[in-house]
């Protein structure tokens, strides 16, 4: 830990860290009971500002790169699941609740339930993007800078941007190499790619996000949620 803090307010909460977890400029806060923050092994530093309330799970898969601090607020017993090998830019917010209540005048029924968020493997999220409740972002996709993703399904290997977010391009993939200091020669060499490792759209996935949410939400306590995450964590690392 460097310039970081962990706050436990409540009962029976678990911060679960695999090997090689380094927190830099981070704040992890449990503000309820029976919740879990699960941080997988990472060759990069974690930069997180995460608050979880009751019966919620924040899961980060292996080797995600955080260029700035990722902000996340988990409310009303719902979850945020992030796959492996993602790239997250500066000033990103992830929130699974509005959080205030909205009702329809005629029926008096609530219109804005809190919903879990799922982000797949190898997803690139641009600067100042906001990802809201119910969003499901497929593997290999790109969310552009300053985009608002609100309850959208983003298919694998697609690029989206805008407020609200709209489809920009299908059938794409991305590589995490940074071009800032490249020479003209290196740029020329990068005009084609040599393998299909980042093409996910044609690969079958055994991830059932509805089942994962049901299992996490129905678990009796934080220990049971950890036990389930240990069973399924490999699914978040490769689709």
Tell me the pLDDT tens digit for each residue of 146-171.
999 999 999 999 999 999 999 999 99
pLDDT tens-digit series, residues 24-70: 999 999 999 999 999 999 999 999 999 999 999 999 999 999 999 99
Question: What span, in angstroms and rounded, lies between the C-alpha atoms of 127 and 187?
Answer: 23
* Digit-coded pLDDT (tens) for 216-235: 999 999 999 999 999 988 77
Work out the percent of the chain whose per-residue pLDDT is above 70.
97
Return the residue matching tokens 């679960």: 16
Pair of tokens at residue 24: 């830099």
Per-residue pLDDT reduced to its tens digit, 93-107: 999 999 899 999 999
Q: What is the DSSP string of 36-100?
A: EEEE---SS-B-EEEEE-TT-EEEE-TT-EESSPEEEEE-TT--EEE-SS-EE-SSEEEES---S
CA distances from residue 221 to 8, 36, 93, 178, 229 in whole angstroms, order as listed: 16, 9, 27, 42, 13
Report the half-sphere exposure of 132 (CA within 13 A, side-chain side): 16
């Amino acid at each position: 830990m460097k310039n970081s803090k962990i706050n436990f307010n409540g009962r029976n909460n678990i911060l679960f860290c695999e090997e090689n977890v380094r927190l830099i400029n981070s704040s992890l806060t449990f503000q309820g009971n029976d919740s879990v923050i699960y941080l997988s092994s990472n060759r990069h530093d974690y930069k997180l500002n995460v608050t979880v309330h009751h019966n919620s799970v924040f899961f980060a898969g292996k080797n995600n790169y955080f260029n700035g601090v990722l902000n996340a607020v988990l409310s009303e017993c719902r979850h945020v699941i992030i796959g492996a090998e993602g790239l997250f830019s500066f000033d990103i917010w992830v929130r699974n609740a509005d959080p205030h209540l909205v009702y329809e005048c005629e029926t008096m029924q609530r219109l804005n339930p809190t919903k879990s968020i799922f982000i797949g493997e190898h997803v690139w999220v641009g600067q100042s993007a906001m990802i809201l409740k119910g969003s499901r972002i497929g593997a290999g996709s790109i969310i552009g800078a300053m985009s608002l993703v609100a309850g959208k399904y983003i298919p694998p290997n697609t690029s989206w941007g805008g407020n609200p977010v709209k489809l920009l391009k299908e059938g794409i993939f991305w590589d995490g190499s940074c071009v800032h200091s490249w020479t003209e020669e290196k740029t020329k060499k990068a005009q084609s790619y040599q393998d299909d490792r980042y093409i996910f759209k044609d690969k079958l996935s055994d991830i059932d996000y509805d089942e994962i949410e049901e299992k996490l939400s129905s678990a009796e306590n934080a220990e049971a949620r950890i036990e389930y995450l240990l069973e399924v964590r490999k699914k978040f690392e490769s689709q």
